[in-house]
Structure 1
Amino acid sequence: MMEIINTTLWFSFLGTVLIIGVTPGPSVLLASANSMSYGAKRTVGTILGDLSANAIQIALSALGLASIVVTSGEIFGLIKWAGVAYLIYMGVTKIMMKPKVGMFNKTISDKSFLKLYSEGFLMSASNPKAIVFFAALFPLFIDQNYSFLPQVVILGLSYLMIDGICLLIYVKFASRLKVYLEDKEKIHFQNRIIGALLILSGLMLSTVRRTTN
Structure 2
Amino acid sequence: MTLESALSFFIAVFIFGITPGPGVFAILARALVNGSAACFMLALGMTISDILYLVAACYGLAVIATNWSELFTVIRIVGACYLLYLGWKMWHAPLDLTQTGQEVNSSSGFMGFSQGFLISASNPKVILFYIAFLPTFMDLTALDNIDIALAALLTLISLMSGLMLIALFASRARRWFKSERAVKRLNRGAGSIMAGAGLFLITRH
Counterpart check, 1:130 vs 2:146 = no
Alignment counterpart, residue 44 of structure 1, candidates 40, 48, 53: 40
Partner of residue 61 from structure 1, selected from 57, 61, 78: 57
How do 1:167-186 and structure 2 match up within 5 A? 167-176=163-172
Flag as ranges the 4+ runs of structure 1 deviating above 3 A: 105-111, 143-147, 175-179
Give the one of 16, 24, 49 matched to 1:20: 16
Unaligned runs of 5+ in 2: 62-86, 96-106, 177-188, 190-205
> Is the Cα–Cα contact under 8 Å of residues 46 and 120 in structure 1 kept in the other structure?
yes
CA distance in 2, matches of 1:136, 1:40: 32
**C-alpha separation in 2, matches of 1:119 and 1:175:** 19
Per the normalisation by structure 2, the TM-score is 0.58
- Which segments of 5 or more consecutive residues in structure 1 lack a partner in the other structure? 66-102, 183-213
Match of 1:153?
149
CA shift in 2, pair 1:142/1:173, >3 Å: same
Alignment partner of 1:106 is 2:102: no
Shift of 1:59: 1.9
* Cα separation, 2, equivalents of 1:38 and 1:144: 42
Identity percentage over the alignment?
A: 29
1:41 to 1:15, Cα distance in 2 relative to 1, 3 A = closer
How far residue 148 of structure 1 moved from its aligned partner, in angstroms, is: 2.8
Aligned length: 141
Correspondence 1:23-34 to 2 at 5 A? 23-34=19-30
